[in-house]
A = this chain, B = another copy of it.
Amino acid sequence: MVVDKSYKIATLGSHSALQILKGAKDEGFSTICVCAKGREKPYQQFKVADKIITIKNYSEFEKIQDELVKENAIIIPHASFITYIGYEKIEKLKVPYFGNKKILKWESDRNLERKWLTQAGLKLPKVFKKPEDIDRPVIIKFHGADGGKGYFLAKNYKDFQKKIKLHTGKKYVIQEYILGVHMYAHYFHSPLTNETELMGFDKRYESNVDSLGRISARDQMALPKEQVDPSYVIVGNIPIVVRESFLPRFMQKGENVVKISKKIAPPGLFGPFCLETVLTPDEEIICFEISTRIVAGTNPYINGSPYTWMKYNEPMSTGRRIAREIKLAIQQNKLNKVLG
């Protein structure tokens, strides 16, 4: 297959840009990496960017839009792109964008997200709208950019009242605390084949909470409380496979989420997405969030995941899968189906 040379793949230099650009090159595209000053090194050393455009900071992204349009670039969004550029500005981008922009608000608004996932038949943790309703252990999560710092557990309403005092003025959500292990499931929905492919799984590596268990309970009790309070800041990802008997349910959930998305935000969710779940000792799959774009949890699989090796028999990262979809769309004259 020959790629139409006139299209290029571009993304912002962060998050999962390495696999996006590497995958694009593997599919035959020229690549462009837009980097904040000082962050170019990975994209140079790993030789994934044919061109690097350096901007002072991310607010300058709009300024280089015309250059991207001129290069005939298609931009691949990721979480950092969405955070840095901002959901509203993305809607107005002129440069061709892989994905359905209309789905973004369904991800970013916790109420809409909940509505969507519930309609898709997923089990979600209970949310308490009023603190007075707390009738079981809960986790309090804060909104916004603080990225997992300050989240806390409360065993009941009284405990909540005491602990929330340290966080005046912050917006938060009160979620039922589900004791189980985290499992992040990666999918790719193709609007060309209408198949929802399971791409792999990961387990996040979060600071400091993933080192907490390495301190003995005696030491934790002895240390000052603020020294051992957990934070949930993601700093890495660990490859993992799920118990095979869970796969039919995981695959069904992915398909259901896509199905409902077609109703709420036509033409629906496509490209990569992720269901963030907790698996309980009762073998339930509880979904606490959806990401409607590539997640960093796919980064361990730059050379393919155990799952993509089965389907593709060649190294197929999620980044490469995106480029493959664009390539096929170009060849089938359906590029409009993958741009949003």
Segment among A62-70, A96-104, A216-224 that sits at the interface with chain B: A216-224
Q: Determine if A133 is an interface residue (Cβ-Cβ < 8 Å).
A: no
How many copies of the polypeptide does the oligomer hold?
3
Contact A149-B281, Cβ < 8 Å, known A211-B180, A240-B236, A248-B38: yes
Question: Are B155 and A222 in contact, CB atoms less than 8 angstroms apart?
Answer: yes
Measured between beta carbons, the chain B residues less than 8 angstroms from A296 are: 243-244
Contact A236-B201, Cβ < 8 Å, known A17-B244, A180-B208, A225-B218: yes
| A41–B307 CA distance with the chains assembled, in angstroms | 13
Interface of chain A residues 286 through 340 with chain B (CB within 8 A): 296, 299-304, 306-307, 309-311, 315
Contact A230-B214, Cβ < 8 Å, known A181-B208, A252-B41: yes
Question: Are B212 and A46 in contact, CB atoms less than 8 angstroms apart?
Answer: no
* A337 to B: closest C-beta gap in Å: 21
Contact A208-B239, Cβ < 8 Å, known A39-B248, A224-B155, A311-B46: no
Measured between beta carbons, the chain B residues less than 8 angstroms from A244 are: 14-18, 42, 296, 299
Measured between beta carbons, the chain B residues less than 8 angstroms from A219 are: 153, 155
Question: Are A48 and B223 in contact, CB atoms less than 8 angstroms apart?
Answer: no
Q: Determine if A179 is an interface residue (Cβ-Cβ < 8 Å).
A: yes
| A198–B46 CA distance with the chains assembled, in angstroms | 9
Which single member of B217, B225, B246 contacts A235 (CB below 8 Å)? B246
| A224–B137 CA distance with the chains assembled, in angstroms | 9
Question: Are B243 and A235 in contact, CB atoms less than 8 angstroms apart?
Answer: yes
Q: Determine if A24 is an interface residue (Cβ-Cβ < 8 Å).
A: no
Question: Are B300 and A239 in contact, CB atoms less than 8 angstroms apart?
Answer: yes
B-contacting residues of A (Cβ < 8 Å)?
A: 14-18, 22, 38-42, 45-48, 80, 137, 148-149, 153, 155, 159, 179-183, 195, 197-198, 201, 203, 205-225, 227-231, 233-248, 251-252, 278-281, 283, 296, 299-304, 306-307, 309-311, 315
Cross-chain pairs A/B with CB under 8 angstroms, 11 sampled: A42-B247, A45-B195, A45-B251, A137-B223, A181-B206, A203-B236, A217-B228, A236-B241, A239-B300, A302-B309, A303-B309
